[in-house]
Amino acid sequence: MRITISGRNIELGDRLKNQVNKKLGKLEKYFAPETEARVVLSRRKDAEIIEVTIPTKTGFIRAEEATDDFFASIDLAEETIERQIKKYRNKLVDKKQSALAFSELFLDEGEDEGEAEIRIVKNKKFELQPMNPEEACLQMEMLGHAFFVFLNGDSGAVNVVYKRRDGSYGLIEPSI
């Protein structure tokens, strides 16, 4: 695994770089040697933040941790990534051993929310990955997002999965 370290609003010292390499080096057993982990260290007011992004074949594994010490943030980020990897691996095993289909267990219609003032403050572009709804939910959980847009590998259509307030998942399948 190759680790790329960059800093925002800070100068990176050898001690800090060595600590990042040491902690994230423990995760090499889970990834291919050509996998590139991107690490961004930054400082904001009272917090020292680490953001770790690791692209995989099915999406991204990501952790962002903020504490008052970089070394504590690095430790927390490493634990978060390892926890996500183990959770993902367990869900893959459960998927193969489960007799019920994902769509029968988790898909419901969404709830409408009241409208507020509409302001678009960020525009994001990304490449859609073909996957099934269960993989999209796993990816959404690993990223820590409330929804995930993906290309449905079965239908070839763009779909959205989202986490409902009750903890279950929803799937939006647009029809044209």
List all residues 6 or more positions away from 44 whose beta carbon is below 8 Å from its beta carbon: 9, 66
Closest CA to 84 of 144, 129, 39, 40: 144
Q: Which residues lie across from 37 on neighbouring strands?
A: 3
Ramachandran area for residue 72 (φ above 0: left; ψ -120 to 50: alpha; else beta): alpha
Cα atoms found within 13 Å of the Cα of residue 2, Cβ hemisphere only: 5
Spatial separation of the C-alpha atoms in residues 65 and 47, rounded to whole Å = 9
- Confidence (pTM): 0.56
Spatial separation of the C-alpha atoms in residues 164 and 166, rounded to whole Å = 5
Q: What is the pLDDT confidence band of residue 102, given thresholds at 50, 70 and 90?
A: very low
Closest CA to 81 of 59, 67, 94, 65: 65
Query: How do the domains of the chain map onto residue ranges?
Result: 2-97, 102-110+124-172
Supply the pLDDT for residue 96: 61
| Residues 131 and 105: beta-carbon distance below 8 Å | no
| Residues 108 and 170: beta-carbon distance below 8 Å | yes
Domain 102-110+124-172 belongs in CATH node 3.30.505.50: yes
Q: For residues 120-148, give the mean pLDDT.
A: 86
Spatial separation of the C-alpha atoms in residues 27 and 86, rounded to whole Å = 11
Architecture of domain 2-97: 2-Layer Sandwich (3.30)
Q: What is the pLDDT confidence band of residue 151, given thresholds at 50, 70 and 90?
A: very high
Dump pLDDT digits (tens) for 111-131.
444 455 778 888 888 888 899
Identity of the amino acid at 173: E
Closest CA to 111 of 174, 150, 166: 166
